């Protein structure tokens, strides 16, 4: 257990404070007009390359999302094709511009595993539109807990957005991992706001 005070992070690593949030009953809907020119579509069996492209455009480039980039094609496909995992894409024509992933593999629970839109849609109501769908879809199943986590590498708007959506913070952790810009999983100019320490 870490004590109070400062703690060194080893070279080649990134560190983040992770906040876990949950809701124990369906939150009240926060109405928003449907965003123009986009639709939400379920992707039953996503191709790993398609998924990684969307994952990268939504979260990896700006916010250092990297966990799914470390998986092999087989491991990623096993998750995405599991009947208890739902992948939804916000579509602008034939182009995916938002990601919503619901994971029902834990009994009586749903994890909002990944959620976000591409930078050009931030602030356009697309996130609220997707969140309303996520809450409805999650609670259509017999769950007792809908949960999500975010971290200090993510957008500063993420945590307040989740709280406004009805999630309550329940736990915090510190995550330390290999910097994906040094392992070659992401380009060195990704997430310029996060310094690289070699």
- Go through 159-186 and write b for each residue having 16 or more CB atoms within 10 A of its CB, e for each that does not: bebbeebbbeeeeeeeeebebbbbeebb
Flag whether pLDDT at 31 surpasses 90: no
Q: Average the pLDDT over 166-181 and give the result.
A: 97
Closest to 139 in 3D by CA, of 26, 23, 24: 26
**What is the strand order of the sheet 85-92 is part of?**
39-42, 85-92, 95-103, 109-117, 145-151, 13-23, 168-178
Q: Which two tokens stand for residue 74?
A: 């087989």
Q: Which two tokens stand for residue 8?
A: 């060194």
Residue predicted with more confidence, 34 or 157: 157
Do 80 and 93 contact (CB within 8 A), yes or no? no
Residue tagged 């939804």 (tokens): 88
Residue tagged 């455009």 (tokens): 57
Distance CA 61, CA 190 (A): 5
Q: Which two tokens stand for residue 158?
A: 């993420």
Which pLDDT value is given to residue 128? 94
Distance CA 23, CA 171 (A): 13
Rounded to two decimals, what is the model's pTM? 0.94
**pLDDT for 6-15, tens place per residue?**
999 999 999 9
Do 41 and 94 contact (CB within 8 A), yes or no? no
CATH number, domain 13-183 = 3.40.630.30
Q: Average the pLDDT over 166-194 and give the result.
A: 96
**pLDDT for 74-133, tens place per residue?**
999 999 999 999 999 999 999 999 999 999 999 999 999 999 999 988 878 889 999 999
Domain ranges for the chain:
13-183
Do 80 and 88 contact (CB within 8 A), yes or no? no
């Amino acid at each position: 257990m870490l004590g109070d005070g400062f703690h060194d992070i080893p070279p080649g690593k990134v560190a983040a404070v992770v906040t876990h949030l949950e809701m124990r009953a369906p939150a009240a809907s926060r109405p928003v007009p449907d965003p123009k020119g986009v639709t939400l579509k379920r992707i039953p069996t996503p191709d790993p390359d398609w998924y990684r492209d969307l994952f990268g455009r939504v979260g990896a480039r700006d916010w250092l999302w990297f966990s799914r980039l470390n998986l092999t094609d087989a491991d990623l496909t096993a998750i995405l094709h599991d009947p208890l995992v739902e992948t939804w894409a916000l579509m602008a024509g034939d182009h995916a511009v938002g990601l919503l992933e619901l994971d029902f593999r834990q009994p009586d629970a749903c994890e909002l595993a990944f959620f976000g839109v591409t930078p050009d849609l931030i602030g356009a109501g697309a996130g609220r539109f997707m969140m309303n769908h996520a809450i409805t879809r999650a609670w259509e199943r017999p769950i007792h807990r809908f949960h999500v986590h975010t971290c200090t590498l993510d957008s500063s708007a993420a945590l307040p957005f989740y709280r406004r959506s009805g999630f309550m913070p329940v736990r915090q952790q510190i995550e330390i991992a290999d910097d994906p810009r040094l392992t070659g999983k992401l380009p060195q100019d990704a997430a310029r706001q996060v310094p690289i320490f070699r």
